[in-house]
Amino acid sequence: YQRRKLGVGTVLSIVMADVRTVSGVAIPHSVDVELPERGETARFRFTSVTINEPVSARLNVSIPASFTRTTFR
């Protein structure tokens, strides 16, 4: 997937690869997200994927006090 901006070029690029079938569904196990204007790239690699399985562990994420929330919509 690419998002382009007139006069700028590509502003977002998402590449999904290493597609494997999991429970009859094609799932990418490699996802690269690039923001060329910022020179930033995030790469996600999945060693295993399950579909519709219960999640037993709770994900606790601490938000730093210095974080400023920005609302876009």
Q: Taking the model in full, what pTM does it have? A: 0.67
| pLDDT for the residue 25 | 94
| pLDDT for the residue 67 | 86
Is the per-residue pLDDT at 71 higher than 90?
no
Query: Judging by DSSP bridges, how do beta strands 9-22 and 2-5 pair with one another?
Result: antiparallel
pLDDT, tens digit, for every residue of 12-67? Answer: 999 999 999 999 999 999 999 999 888 999 999 999 999 988 888 888 888 888 88
| pLDDT for the residue 31 | 97
**Whether 61 contacts 38, CB under 8 Å:** no
